[in-house]
Structure 1
């Protein structure tokens, strides 16, 4: 029995190796285990479902998470502590910000209440000045003040403080700043009757202080930027006031007020219904006469560009003496491309709509200016110049074709009656007429070429180009069909 157990244990330990080898190996490296010990080890391994080798691994693996847990616990705690610190800081900052907003809201409420106190005018003036400063650069404050009801008391101050310049200036500029970048506020300011109250100040028999006048012009400029306000302001007497402002020559209006008045009139002229109110004044004559003053010429041409879009506006511009020659002269202002673009637009619309204006342009020598502009102007100016040239060429061609038609109808019977031979005298007369016409055409062509060469030399001289420059293909395309029909000489 003992032998059996021994042999059995040896078979289990040795596997497919021989005993001698196992014995020699054990003799050199290991101590021999007895049979009972091996039986115990084997029994434990079988009962656990794994060998002792895997049991050791499971022990080490079970110990490993415990070691990791011990090492990571402090890190998790540190992270959670940092996170809680950040959250507490964010909450503290949010509380501070909320507190600031609450304090600011309370201050704005206090200002609105002070604006509503009619008894203490000094306090109201001070509150209006504060509103003016707070609303100057803060869009959020403008909306908050309007929601709290700051606009009606500020407009009411225009009625109640007519003789107090400081109060009027403070309330007017407070309204101006409340409307900056806020269309809802602009509409609300007009809706509560600010335009009528400003006009009452303008018509005051005691006269109007220059600072108050300048503040009113600035308000008209800001309020007229909103489309829904354009007709309300334009149909009032505000246009006459603005025209008087830009025409002032006794230094009653500051340069800033004049610039604001030009811009306000431009905003109002965008709306076609206001053109009739503008034409009731002498604004168009003043605008045409102002062309040449480089401080206001661009704004002047901008207003005329809006007026020329209506039939009444075109008639008013054409009725001004020398309006067409003045506009044509602007095309030669190489130092002001913006003015060239606006003047070419006005001339293009007038040439397209009115035959009389086209004749006046031809008489003013517009062809030379258009050729120069089509070569040296901006891209937009070149397109407009080419369009005007095309309009003039087509119209001139129609006139010449009509005149030649009438001549043929009259001359054909006369030539035929000079001789009884159909193929004799008639043909001879026709050939002579054709020779005469060819000579006329040659003379006209020669004159046109001379005129174009002179114009080209002027253009080259203006552009400071070499005198032997070769005309571009664009110039050739413009002059290839140039005869007495298209370009005057």
Structure 2
């Protein structure tokens, strides 16, 4: 019916349809996205140009056929999840968690602090109770035996508490534990005396203030009072505890003169010498170390040389276990004129010291012995002559070649002191006809070779035979030194061990003299 009423509708509609299709295609090509599909546009244009052309009106749209079915969209491609937006709730939840963690940490720390504080309070109360028991027992008016037992137990507690706890030592001293412990030394009970001595010993370990407080409280004189009785009645454990206390107390410089003047040095010397074999090895070691501490103070040296200590030390130098400590004491004693005289008058003192210079396996002893000899050769002319007679020159020459750096320096200083007049040196390898020369005064460190006569005293030099022996000894030492250096060079160069030096090197070794030695 529509086609009959409009005979030209088909041609016009076809024309318009073609133009619309082309326009739609071009517009679709120009636009980045299509607004309608081709079939839908064609259908709308046909409805618009059919008789009346009002298919776009709402009435015509309502009378039209069913709308085309909707084309379902393409399924989304799988990909990473988009980041979730950070909302205020997210920040609030995280801040709440952080706050909870901080609160838990603070609570845990507070609990630990409370536990630590409680432990410190308990430890302090324990120390107060121990000191209170000491003081109450000292002033108690009850039964004597019961009070003595209470004091003894308190002293034992102090000994255990102060054994390995530096803070406990300081706290106990501040609470007033030292005076009652010192007062216990007046007791007649042996166990109480021993408990008090070892409690005082532990209180002074590594604590200078406690050491000074113990001496100030009068402990030194009370200890010596315990050993005033005949030696047969002195208990060895008491003697050993007193020696240990003297060792600890003498480590403080301010206590050295007090202990030295108190009369403790003869007691320590007797403990060290111990002709009756009553002292234990530990007591002897402690006595030797305590005497070393006391010998550091110059005023105590006069007291030391009044005893038999110096001869005993010189005769005990053969014992390698205590020779280092003995030489340390002699190094302190030699600092005074009285000490040097006490050493020089000992029989065979210089041969013994010269023999120590040959202890190549103990460089520490060599250094200390060379120090003692260096001081004595610098201060006294008679000591230099005694050293020469003891054969010190060859030992010093060997020490300058094979000794440690410090031993070499000290040996060179001693050789400087032994230099003779007219440029002659005892250690030179040549010697002409017998001639007299004066030994110079000590000129340690001087570079001049011109030497003066000391007080007009003259001594004859060694004769030609002695110089020949010195020459042979020097040549032998030089040859040993060169061979030792050659072995070291061969080892460093990785050459065969049976490497034989050339004849030229042998001739150099044979013709070397002491002129090349350092002095």
The TM-score normalised by the length of structure 1 is 0.72
Q: 2:479, 2:307 → 1: CA distance?
A: 44
**How many angstroms apart in 2 are the aligned matches of 1:478 and 1:107?**
77
CA–CA distance in 1 between the matches of 2:33 and 2:415?
120
Note the residue ranges of structure 1 that are not aligned, 5 or more in a row. Answer: 1-19, 31-63, 407-440
Q: Judging changes above 3 Å, is the alpha-carbon distance between structure 1 residues 260 and 453 closer, same or farther for their aligned structure 2 residues?
A: same
User: What is the match of residue 153 of structure 1?
Assistant: 180
Q: List per-residue Cα deviations over 1:378-423 (Å, max 9, x = no partner).
A: 22111111211122125684899xx7799xxxxxxxxxxxxxxxxx
Give the match for residue 156 of structure 2.
129
- Measured in 2, the distance between the counterparts of 1:150 and 1:84 equals 44
Contact 1:461 1:467 survives alignment (8 Å): no
Q: 2:421–2:437: 8 Å Cα contact kept in structure 1?
A: no
Measured in 1, the distance between the counterparts of 2:388 and 2:32 equals 126
SS in 2 for 1:281: coil
Task: Tell me which residue corresponds to 1:29.
Answer: 35
Match of 1:138 among 140, 160, 165: 165
Among 54, 73, 87, the residue aligned to 2:106: 87
Match of 2:380 in 1: 354
SS at match of 2:229: coil
1:265 aligns with 2:300: no
Partner of 1:188: 213
Aligned residues: 392
Shift of 1:479: 2.1
Tell me, which stretches of 5 or more residues in structure 2 are unaligned?
1-25, 37-82, 141-146, 427-434, 439-462, 488-497
User: What is the CA–CA distance in structure 1 between the aligned matches of 2:373 and 2:361, rounded to whole Å?
Assistant: 19
Quickly say closer, same or farther: Cα 1:72–1:313, change in 2 above 3 A.
same
Q: Could you say if the C-alpha distance between residues 405 and 479 of structure 1 is closer, same or farther in structure 2, counting changes exceeding 3 Å?
A: closer
**2:471 aligned with 1:449:** yes
Cα shift at 1:264: 0.4
* Gap change, CA 1:459 and 1:65, over 3 Å in 2: closer
Separation of aligned partners in 2, 1:467 and 1:255 = 52
Q: Distance in 2 between matches of 1:229 and 1:313?
A: 22
Quote the residue 1:213 is aligned against. Answer: 239
Gap change, CA 1:477 and 1:319, over 3 Å in 2: farther
Residue of structure 2 equivalent to 1:425? none
**Equivalence map 1:221-232=2 (5 Å):** 221-232=247-258
CA RMSD of aligned residues (A): 3.7
> What SS class does the counterpart of residue 225 from structure 1 fall into?
coil
From 228, 231, 243, the equivalent of 1:203 is 228
> Residue 461 and residue 177 in structure 1: after superposition, are their counterparts in 2 closer, same or farther (change >3 A)?
farther
Q: 1:364 to 1:443 in 2, by over 3 A?
A: closer
CA gap of 1:83–1:405, structure 2 versus 1, over 3 A, is: closer
Q: Which residue of 1 aligns with 2:514?
A: 479
Q: Which residue of 2 aligns with 1:167?
A: 192
Pair 395,144 (structure 1): closer, same or farther in 2 beyond 3 Å: farther
Compared with structure 1, are the counterparts of its residues 84 and 478 closer, same or farther at alpha carbon in structure 2 (3 Å cutoff)?
A: farther
Aligned equivalents of 2:486, 2:180: Cα separation in 1: 63
* 1:415-473 deviation digits (Å, cap 9, x = unpaired): xxxxxxxxxxxxxxxxxxxxxxxxxx9999866533422455688999997999979x9
SS in 1 for 2:419: helix
What is the alpha-carbon distance in structure 2 between the residues aligned to residue 103 and residue 336 of structure 1?
53
Q: CA deviation at 1:132?
A: 0.7
Matching residue within 383, 389, 394 for 2:415: 389
8 A contact 1:176–1:219 mirrored in 2: yes
For residues 283 and 170 of structure 2, the distance between their equivalents in structure 1, rounded to whole angstroms, comes to: 27
Q: Is the 8 A contact 2:256 2:294 kept in 1?
A: yes
More helix by share: 1
Q: CA 1:28/1:345 → structure 2, altered by over 3 Å: closer, same or farther?
A: same
Q: Secondary structure at the match of 1:374?
A: helix
Q: Rg larger in 1 or in 2? A: 2
Residue equivalent to 1:374: 400
In structure 1, distance between residues paired with 2:260 and 2:296: 11
**CA 1:464–1:151 in structure 2 vs 1: closer, same or farther (change >3 Å)?**
farther
Name the structure 1 match of 2:95.
76
Contact 1:331 1:369 in 2 (8 A): yes
